[in-house]
Structure 1
Amino acid sequence: MSDNASSPLHPLVVLARPQMGENIGAAARAMLNFGLSGMRLVSPRDGWPNPKAGAMASGAAEVIDRVRVFNTVADAVADCEFVVATTARQRGLFLPVLTPQEAAVKLREATAAGQRTAMLFGAEKAGLETQEAALANALVTIPVNPEFPSLNLAQAVLLLSYEWAKAGGTEALFSSPYTEGPASRGELRSMLDHLYAALNRSGYFWPEEKRTVLEQNLQTMFSNAGMTASELRVLHGVIRQFERHLPKGDEPSEDG
């Protein structure tokens, strides 16, 4: 599945060698809070897909479902024309060093010029290697307390994503999230199929004779709710969490 690389309007978020699935999921949530959805991973320690990332992402399934995985940072940013790399220290590179706010302005200028952009983040403990940071057009250093400089990966993603959104203007950043139109019939059908499969495993459709009526009742209820695609994605996340606690196999339980 492709990310948003076909559109130069929003920067990609590239995570180099992320170690914990929970941090990937939290980063996905931070991105979607501010309208970003294109995530790329470079050699994630625990492989991909990662169920812990999906669980932590919750309603940000659209980010997790579109993740692309690469072997190297160079491959991950090969189609990008403007890249900023976060780093906690100077590296002797002849690159401009920007604050998050300055980086957001530069990213906005690049996207306005039709360039594909990316924000590059290093691994939780070691950060980026010098040769990886050298692939960027500019470095970003987040000013933190020098006596406690540790910053969680998802927090760093959140901060830069916020600055990116803010640089587009407060009207765009704080506009109402409830202007989205209703989901398509296909999106609703996908959610219902997911729900039916989970309920079947749980034993909800027992005895079997009740299945048709119960499915019709659920379809009518959700069809009349006028839910948006975003709301359906939240339900997909809820169902995924529900599925984690179901017995393995396809046969429904009769305990209920």
Structure 2
Amino acid sequence: MNNPVIILVAPQMGENIGATARAMKNFGLTNLRIVAPRDGWPNDKASSVAVAAIDILSNAKIYDDLASSIADLEYVYATTSVPRDMNKNYILSKELPDHYPKQLKVGIMFGRENCGLTNQEITIANKIITIDTDHNFSSLNIAQAVIIICYELFKSQERTDLVNTQLLATKEQMDYFFAHLFTELDKKNFFKVAQKRPQMTRNIMNIFYRIENLSNTELQTLRGVISALTKK
């Protein structure tokens, strides 16, 4: 299995970042990305909690926005304990080893301590992970959620899957595709009601992100289709 990227989106407490680093090191994960940490970076509280996992913090990559943090990734999971009103595939954490695309560059997103990930952030994920907890109390600390996911992946390290040798589309390439598509739709006045545009764009993005293993070549074909349909 490749080494997935753990992505903390706008974490609010340095202690949780440090505890996340420890959880990752417990199960052999080393790639940590942090998006817009509330208290800035570096963070002394994160370092004091990380202890022997300080190397993961030292090598962590810091980003100003989510889009840049996942631009090079081919497959992204979003974690949430709250059901979302969107047509996107869900899996339980214990099912992750059976669904994990081992040959791809994978990222797993974790949201803010107080409210998790936004619907817009979840839209860009290929799939949602829900940790199977008691339905009466499903809220988890970030580091607790991270360690459960890391443990499930660690258990499956010896498993093997069929290898897909095609070069898959990255999130950055998907962003270019959506920009192209929405630009042309705007020209055709597809979004007639401005207030509905955000929800409609999310719906369109969810349609494409449900496609498993979309290759870069296939994505270029889709862009060619758009160009052909809009050519004067």
- Secondary structure of residue in 2 paired with 1:59: helix
Aligned pair partner of 2:87 in 94, 99, 104: 94
The Cα shift of 1:167 comes to 1.4
Q: Per-residue displacement from partner, 1:186-210 (whole Å, max 9, x unpaired)?
A: xxxxxxxxxxxxxxxxxxxxxxxxx
TM-score, reference length from structure 2: 0.66
The Cα shift of 1:161 comes to 0.2
Aligned pair partner of 2:14 in 13, 16, 21: 21
Does 1:59 pair with 2:48?
Answer: no
Letter in 1 for 2:53: A
Letter in 2 for 1:134: T
Give the aligned partner of residue 142 of structure 1: 131
| Structure possessing the higher radius of gyration over alpha carbons | 1
Taking the aligned partners of 1:61 and 1:74, their CA distance within structure 2 comes to 26
- Secondary structure of residue in 2 paired with 1:118: strand
Taking the aligned partners of 1:33 and 1:153, their CA distance within structure 2 comes to 15
The Cα shift of 1:147 comes to 2.3
Q: Per-residue displacement from partner, 1:74-105 (whole Å, max 9, x unpaired)?
A: 21111111111101122122221001122233
Aligned pair partner of 1:130 in 110, 116, 119: 119
Whether the aligned pair in 2 keeps the contact of 1:74 and 1:132 (CA below 8 Å) is no
Aligned pair partner of 1:84 in 77, 81, 97: 77
> Structure 2 regions of 5+ residues with no counterpart?
160-232
> Structure 1 regions of 5+ residues with no counterpart?
1-7, 171-256
Does 1:164 pair with 2:153?
Answer: yes
Letter in 1 for 2:112: A
Give the aligned partner of residue 214 of structure 1: none
Give the aligned partner of residue 31 of structure 1: 24
Taking the aligned partners of 2:69 and 2:22, their CA distance within structure 1 comes to 21
Give the aligned partner of residue 244 of structure 1: none
The Cα shift of 1:149 comes to 2.1
Q: Per-residue displacement from partner, 1:162-193 (whole Å, max 9, x unpaired)?
A: 000011149xxxxxxxxxxxxxxxxxxxxxxx
Whether the aligned pair in 2 keeps the contact of 1:81 and 1:117 (CA below 8 Å) is yes
Whether the aligned pair in 2 keeps the contact of 1:104 and 1:160 (CA below 8 Å) is no
The Cα shift of 1:146 comes to 2.5
Runs of 4 or more above 4 Å deviation: none
Does 1:151 pair with 2:140?
Answer: yes
The Cα shift of 1:135 comes to 1.0
- Percent sequence identity over matched residues? 40
| Matched length | 159
Taking the aligned partners of 1:90 and 1:149, their CA distance within structure 2 comes to 11
Taking the aligned partners of 1:79 and 1:158, their CA distance within structure 2 comes to 24
